[in-house]
Chain A
């Protein structure tokens, strides 16, 4: 109120002291703009501008270091990213019409490579996966199969890590919310992985996961009396992603734990006492007081954890480099590999743009979902 008045009066002063031609804007607006200018500038320079540059670049064939001039290529990068197709193959039969079989009794199909090369419609397509049905073979094709693989890996990671990480965080928050002596120590300990560099954590966990020397395999075999043999955590395509999920949830849960803790401390103690008098046990109190009280916190935590999970990169880069057999390659990892390691920055930009749009859509959907439930 006071600030407004003073701005008002100084404005009148300026006008009367000899610049009557200046257009009279509402002084409040100008003030607001002036005050937010530094933040807006930063936002524009480091967020909006890079995104616009990436958007522009994704329509060109720009490479990181290249003697050739950059040219517009329209939607070619997006076509390469997202174009999916399929074809159905009949088994090969001999002149008599009998189906050819290998020594193992399996049907033989025409060689995919020659089929794709000879058909202009399938130019640039590669096999992503195939399955047989009714003697026929269906082949799923993509122009960049490893991108499709990366999307699926990323989704798998998100689906696994979000519940594990949020659940762990809530559990830890409940534990450290007790009024016990020395609880501060536990808070610090549980939070410490967060402040440790993810690179360091990844390296340490690579040792823990090591097939022969790793602590996990030692524990497993000790606890099962040697029955559970050494698992090649990071070398087995089936285990590599779950291993990274576990490690990531462990590393990042501390942040969500603190947010949940703040949420817990915002719940009025009277509610717990009322529930106690109403005869609710620990579980009854958790379901009827704690969870409803943490609703907004949970929305925030789930959305932010999801977005963070989609950006999975460092762990993969340090621990598996996308392997084995592409089973841990993620969208971000793919973007960096293409854009920088293979120097195809235009293609990398296209991946980032698609990625950005996907995350935006998911965040909006999640918010819609939670908002709906609030009304219900």
Chain B
């Protein structure tokens, strides 16, 4: 068990810089998830922690020990690969014991530890099979078992579930979360699936283009995204954005004209940015209501309606070409081609300046989030 500390970490391939000086503190026993769009450097960052990729500049500490130029096998980390990376000619037992065998551990000890972690992951009946005789989910369990056997300080996962089908992915997600609450090791988990990030993480690190955009708990990121990118990235379906003209501004409030010409007034922290002419208003689909309980009403034209049973997604156009997604109740009567009124509360709106930075004061995080999201997931 150990903290991980990255200090001004930079990665360059020749002249191309892909990670631009990242500072990050990961506390002992935390489950940290790296998310971000494809190519943002999640894998690179993880692989630098693992020691598979050289750190061009900066320092890495694991357990208060500088391991920037320590070999991968001596860092006390273990990794689960997206492709599982099981040795095809070895049985499950040999695969799981390989790391210990390389470390010249005593045979009985290897057997004991393999049996132990096989029990945790219910792999006992599979121990004498070869990887090619396993299903995808079983292979991934073996790959996880292999890391447990070595009892590392830090577990690393690089998109471990993306080769699995949707149902299995949910199941394995829960299993990994369970494993974390059982082992309590530090874990770093890379994914581009934000549902995985929201449900598993103690702390989410949102990356874009080799920079950290925001670090925080899932609820924090959901309630108080610091910029437009994080706001759009966290939450599903995506947050709706539309541009509004600024009519007037004081140091703590803004008067705006919505695209449909309705005028509204919001609280905003705009003392640092006087004289704005346009801002972006963001509102999540689940905060748009098809009844009229919200304070602000807007009219939309419905393009597509998706009935998911428990919820209905309404894809609509608003005031010309602004596309809008509304998450309505499961039995919504709205049909394609309808024109209907949608309402929302200004409290739930996000506001971003022309650089995409948030203009609203952070909302308090409800106490309930002290109960970790994992426990909610696990029921």
* Contact call B99/A279, Cβ cutoff below 8 A: yes
In the complex, chain B residues 286-318 whose Cβ is within 8 Å of any chain A Cβ:
none
A binding-site residues for B, Cβ under 8 Å: 268, 270-271, 273-280, 284, 288-289, 292-293, 295
Hey, which chain A residues are within 8 Å of B87, CB to CB?
271, 274-275, 288-289, 292
* Contact call B102/A280, Cβ cutoff below 8 A: yes
Complex-state Cα separation, A295 to B89, whole angstroms: 10
* Contact call A276/B73, Cβ cutoff below 8 A: yes
In the complex, chain B residues 71-95 whose Cβ is within 8 Å of any chain A Cβ:
72-73, 77-79, 81, 83, 85-90
Shortest CB-to-CB span from A193 to chain B, Å, is 33
* Contact call B85/A270, Cβ cutoff below 8 A: yes
Hey, which chain A residues are within 8 Å of B73, CB to CB?
276-280
Hey, which chain B residues are within 8 Å of A293, CB to CB?
88
* Contact call A277/B77, Cβ cutoff below 8 A: yes
Shortest CB-to-CB span from A370 to chain B, Å, is 14
Hey, which chain B residues are within 8 Å of A277, CB to CB?
50-52, 72-73, 77-79, 99
* Contact call A292/B89, Cβ cutoff below 8 A: yes
B binding-site residues for A, Cβ under 8 Å: 50-52, 72-73, 77-79, 81, 83, 85-90, 98-99, 102-103, 150
Complex-state Cα separation, A276 to B50, whole angstroms: 10
Shortest CB-to-CB span from B173 to chain A, Å, is 22
* Contact call A279/B79, Cβ cutoff below 8 A: no
The 8 A-B pairs with the shortest beta carbon distances in the complex, nearest first, are A279-B73, A270-B85, A278-B99, A274-B85, A292-B89, A279-B102, A270-B81, A270-B83
Complex-state Cα separation, A122 to B171, whole angstroms: 83
**Contact with B102, one of A268, A278, A292, A295 (Cβ below 8 angstroms):** A278
Complex-state Cα separation, A167 to B97, whole angstroms: 30
Q: Beyond A270-B81, A274-B85: 4 further Cβ-contacts under 8 Å?
A: A279-B99, A284-B102, A288-B90, A288-B98
Closest to A295 in B: B89
Shortest CB-to-CB span from A287 to chain B, Å, is 11
Hey, which chain A residues are within 8 Å of B150, CB to CB?
278
Complex-state Cα separation, A278 to B72, whole angstroms: 9
* Contact call B85/A271, Cβ cutoff below 8 A: yes
Complex-state Cα separation, A295 to B99, whole angstroms: 22
Shortest CB-to-CB span from A267 to chain B, Å, is 10
User: If the complex has contacts A268-B85, A270-B85, A271-B85, are A276 and B52 also in contact, measured as CB distance less than 8 A?
Assistant: yes
Hey, which chain B residues are within 8 Å of A271, CB to CB?
85, 87
Shortest CB-to-CB span from B73 to chain A, Å, is 4
Hey, which chain B residues are within 8 Å of A270, CB to CB?
81, 83, 85
Complex-state Cα separation, A275 to B81, whole angstroms: 12
Hey, which chain A residues are within 8 Å of B103, CB to CB?
279
Hey, which chain B residues are within 8 Å of A279, CB to CB?
73, 99, 102-103
Shortest CB-to-CB span from A200 to chain B, Å, is 42
Shortest CB-to-CB span from A291 to chain B, Å, is 9
Complex-state Cα separation, A292 to B86, whole angstroms: 12
* Contact call A273/B52, Cβ cutoff below 8 A: yes
Shortest CB-to-CB span from A314 to chain B, Å, is 39
Shortest CB-to-CB span from A55 to chain B, Å, is 43
User: Can you list 17 A-B pairs with a CB-CB distance of less than 8 A?
Assistant: A270-B81, A270-B83, A271-B87, A273-B52, A274-B79, A274-B85, A275-B98, A276-B72, A277-B51, A277-B52, A277-B77, A278-B73, A278-B99, A280-B102, A284-B102, A288-B98, A295-B89
Hey, which chain B residues are within 8 Å of A288, CB to CB?
87, 90, 98
Hey, which chain B residues are within 8 Å of A278, CB to CB?
73, 98-99, 102, 150
Hey, which chain A residues are within 8 Å of B50, CB to CB?
277
Complex-state Cα separation, A270 to B83, whole angstroms: 7
* Contact call B83/A268, Cβ cutoff below 8 A: yes
**Contact with B81, one of A274, A284, A295 (Cβ below 8 angstroms):** A274
Hey, which chain B residues are within 8 Å of A268, CB to CB?
83, 85
Shortest CB-to-CB span from B45 to chain A, Å, is 15
Closest to B50 in A: A277
Complex-state Cα separation, A79 to B90, whole angstroms: 51
Hey, which chain A residues are within 8 Å of B102, CB to CB?
278-280, 284
- Interface centre among B73, B81, B85, B86, by most chain A C-beta atoms within 10 angstroms, is B85
Hey, which chain A residues are within 8 Å of B72, CB to CB?
276-277
- Interface centre among A273, A275, A278, A289, by most chain B C-beta atoms within 10 angstroms, is A278
Shortest CB-to-CB span from A285 to chain B, Å, is 10
Complex-state Cα separation, A279 to B76, whole angstroms: 10
Shortest CB-to-CB span from A142 to chain B, Å, is 46
Hey, which chain B residues are within 8 Å of A295, CB to CB?
89
Shortest CB-to-CB span from A256 to chain B, Å, is 22
Closest to B78 in A: A277
Complex-state Cα separation, A284 to B88, whole angstroms: 15
Hey, which chain A residues are within 8 Å of B81, CB to CB?
270, 273-274
Hey, which chain A residues are within 8 Å of B98, CB to CB?
275, 278, 280, 288
Shortest CB-to-CB span from B102 to chain A, Å, is 4
* Contact call A292/B99, Cβ cutoff below 8 A: no
Closest to A292 in B: B89
Closest to A281 in B: B102
Hey, which chain A residues are within 8 Å of B85, CB to CB?
268, 270-271, 273-274
Complex-state Cα separation, A273 to B98, whole angstroms: 13
Shortest CB-to-CB span from A245 to chain B, Å, is 32
Hey, which chain A residues are within 8 Å of B88, CB to CB?
292-293
Complex-state Cα separation, A284 to B72, whole angstroms: 15
Complex-state Cα separation, A293 to B88, whole angstroms: 8
Closest to B52 in A: A273
Hey, which chain A residues are within 8 Å of B52, CB to CB?
273, 276-277
Shortest CB-to-CB span from B197 to chain A, Å, is 23
Hey, which chain A residues are within 8 Å of B79, CB to CB?
273-274, 277
Hey, which chain A residues are within 8 Å of B51, CB to CB?
276-277
Complex-state Cα separation, A289 to B103, whole angstroms: 17
Hey, which chain B residues are within 8 Å of A292, CB to CB?
87-89
Closest to B156 in A: A277
Closest to B83 in A: A270
Hey, which chain A residues are within 8 Å of B77, CB to CB?
277
Shortest CB-to-CB span from A67 to chain B, Å, is 65
Complex-state Cα separation, A355 to B52, whole angstroms: 53
- Interface centre among A268, A277, A293, A295, by most chain B C-beta atoms within 10 angstroms, is A277
Closest to B149 in A: A278
Shortest CB-to-CB span from B239 to chain A, Å, is 36
Shortest CB-to-CB span from A204 to chain B, Å, is 42
